[in-house]
Amino acid sequence: MLTLTNTYARFLQKNPNFFAKENLDLFFQKVLVERNSQLSGYYDLPFAKNEAIFDYLQRNKTFLDSISNVIIIGIGGSSLGTKAIDALLSHQSHRKKIKLRFLEHTDPIIIRKDLQRVKYEDTLFIVISKSGLTIETTSLFKYILARFSLLKKERKKHLLTITDENSPLFKWSKSEEIESVTIKPNIGGRFSVLSAVGLLPLAILGYDIAAILKGASIVSHRFFEECKDNVLKKALFLARNESNYPINVLFSYSSVFRHFNAWYVQLWGESLGKLDMYEQRRGLTPIALIGSIDQHSFLQLIMQGPANKTVTFLSVKNLSQKPLYIPNIRLQGLESTDFVNQTSFNQLLKLQCISTKESIISQNVPVDSILIDSLNEQSVGALVLYYELLTSCVGILLQIDTYNQPGVEFGKKILREKFTHS
């Protein structure tokens, strides 16, 4: 499902006791304490029954079979995870022919463009917010309500909210007799994709959400029950080398990872950029790249710029069941490119990844790799939980609260004050 490797050998030659068993055991106990404290409910999501999701799907089957658009109104953790998983799995034949759109930007140009041809009759609008008080989401929600007159009794079935239990949005939904599915308050937005926030829209699109959770549960079981230490070792390396390697580059070898990269940047940046318990600024800066495109841009900085980066290569062993081949065509003056003729594009991308990785390793840049056998629900669920666990582990070592976002809340406070005093 996921194959994990790293090239920390050169570092370990100088620090042979860095991954000593007693260090890893002590670290693992800290992770157990956090999980059992219920500080974050995402640890339990791979094993949730999700009765509310399946109940909604069953009760509304006829209506859901009739729609051709799903529009998600939400921002950040309310949209990025769903967008990422759909992009990774949209090649699958059982994905329904429903157009998935996201209203997450308050740019009026984008709002008009995204809603230009939308009719409420064949659309389900899903409002996703933990409280309903996020300004971007609430403002867009109000616009949708007014534009499509969704509070008319016969149109309310076109509206669904996903929110915290007993949140202001849930209470509003109940008062207006709008369908609402809730999540636990201790599940933060950026850790919520394996809850109803992500799973319900994905199920509507036809994905096997049980398989997504199965992949996540396998990673959880290997970590907590079988004590596989891959995640612990990577987290320990990154956190203890925070000052030497403050930048973490995710180099994903397929354009289908573009939205996953955006999810990673939010998860990593918003979770780990914090003041620690001693009021010291901590954090590891995420950079997300797409191979082979960014071999012609950012790679130069990795190769000969400041030696302050680690690089993770993310790739898929089998990207396509139907290979595409480079034709055996000779073009006058371009003969130097003929060495790839009759090669599949999958093989070309694979060798580009390997070549780039070897070139970076030659510059003594710390590298690790994640190889996915094939993109399916189970492997994607595994990948999501792997990154969530890694983020939590690094946060524990940095001695921060991984699950809050006081810097973001400070910006919201200033915005509110500007409107109040204007």
Q: Which amino acid is at 373?
A: D
Distance CA(138)–CA(223), nearest Å, equals 39
Among the listed residues 290, 343, 352, 346, the one whose alpha carbon sits nearest the alpha carbon of residue 318: 346
What is the three-class DSSP state of 395? helix
Dihedral over Cα of 136, 104, 285, 277: its sign: positive
The angle at the Cα of 261, spanning 44 to 308, to the nearest 5 degrees, equals 105
Cis bond before residue 173 (omega within 30° of 0): no
Q: Do residues 397 and 34 touch, judged by C-beta distance below 8 A?
A: no
Q: Do residues 316 and 254 touch, judged by C-beta distance below 8 A?
A: yes
Question: Residues 34, 179, 270, 377: which is the catalytic one?
Answer: 270
Question: Residues 14, 97, 296, 418: which is the catalytic one?
Answer: 296
The angle at the Cα of 400, spanning 41 to 189, to the nearest 5 degrees, equals 35
Question: Residues 221, 412, 413, 417: which is the catalytic one?
Answer: 412
Q: What is the dihedral of CA 253, 259, 260, 261, to 10 degrees?
A: 70
* Token output for 24: 């890893």
Q: Would you put residue 166 in left (φ > 0), alpha (ψ -120 to 50) or beta?
A: left
- For the chain, give the number of residues: 422
Distance CA(19)–CA(30), nearest Å, equals 16
- Strand ranges, E, within 227-332: 247-252, 274-275, 281-282, 285-290, 309-318
Residue 296 among the catalytic residues: yes
DSSP-derived secondary structure letter, 243:
T
Residue 270 among the catalytic residues: yes
Distance CA(58)–CA(55), nearest Å, equals 5
Active site residues: 270, 296, 412
